[in-house]
Amino acid sequence: MTLDRRSFLLGSLATGLAASCGSRRDAPPLAGAAAAAAPAPAAAAPPKQKTLLVLGGTGFLGPHVVEAALARGHKVTLFNRGKTRPELFPTVEKLQGDRDGKLEALRGRTWDAVVDTSAYVPRITKLSAELLAPSVKQYVNISTISVYAGHERIGADEAAPLATLPDPASEDVKQHYGALKALCEQAAEAAMPGRVANLRPGLIIGPGDPTGRFTHWPARMAEGGEVLCPGDGATPTQYIDGRDLGAWIVKVVEDGTVGTFNALGPARRITMREVLEACNAAGGNKATLTWVAAAFLEEQEVSPWGELPMWFDAKGEMAGFGTISNARAVAAGLTFRPILETARDTLAWLDSLPESIPEDKRKRMRSAGLSREKEAKVLAAWKARK
């Protein structure tokens, strides 16, 4: 595994953990101004009410699922340890326990579907899936595109080879994130054959994102000045707004959809230039974008994905990054809002963060990318090379 591939997997792990568990107890719920800024969907006939059990539900992705389900008239139950933002959703039924063996609160209950936002270890997924198999009709497992063995192939679909675990007994999520997530998919399917929807998102972005990854770009553009941008701008990238993913998860439940789906967008291929220009527009076009060649960034030891979120130089084992096929998910109803809307709402959410959040945490939530000091140093070197 090269450094590029490893940095992507570690970045995906950070995003996944934040999506399920949350890392900022002080972050405001998404029912605030940023979430409300999205246009209301067109009126439609109300769906038949479903009962949903959400494993987790108070991190980053979970609240999007809960809010979408409640907006559609469904009845939601949360199951978690009650430690991450327990004040959220005061009118929703909450059951306390632990995924790793403390599942007593789930016994003797029935639901139409379970949404599992926190499946990382197959042994633990097996416990909940087997327990719930007689009690639910459908298991919606939130997986990841990190399950794939590589990203060399352009336009790869759900049939691409999966990562494998060198040590079958390992539960080291940090080291074997993708392979363990692949085994979690298999554990759910083994417990409930033909009743599982394995959804594989990529980078989840938008309001509520505590990782600082995508937020680096709109926040940095809003500061203005000269901004270091990676490559020539033509590299493709992929992502999904957490609100779009949450709404589609609820649709998957409503439709009883099963199978495996790459849950990432947008609907067409989009380049880093388009994304970063949209982020600049969201901040008032205050920034000057300077595109720096990938080879030079490597010489300056600027890491893709980690210091330059959403970007890899499209070559070698990452040649297909940003081109993964989402055709199956789109056919099953997944839709995407414009990146400009996501960037604007993300900035509004960042501006609404409560003052109770310490400054160092606030800074990390705004950016997990390249430091301003290193950015200035690399830009100066880029200009001096001529």
Domain boundaries, the chain: 3-384
Residue 40 clears pLDDT 70, i.e. is over it: no
pTM: 0.90
| Cβ-Cβ contacts under 8 Å for 126 (sequence gap 6 or more) | 187, 190, 191
What amino acid occupies position 21?
C
CATH of domain 3-384: 3.40.50.720
To the nearest 10 degrees (0 to 180), the angle between helices 272-282 and 216-223 is 50
Residue 362 clears pLDDT 90, i.e. is over it: no
The closest of 341, 344, 337 to 266, measured between CA atoms, is 337
pLDDT in tens, 2-35: 445 455 555 555 555 555 544 333 344 343 333 3
C-alpha dihedral sign at 15, 18, 23, 24: positive
| Cβ-Cβ contacts under 8 Å for 45 (sequence gap 6 or more) | none
- Stretch 48-77: mean pLDDT, rounded? 97
Average pLDDT over the chain reads 90
To the nearest 10 degrees (0 to 180), the angle between helices 61-71 and 242-255 is 50
Structure tokens, 321? 């990054």
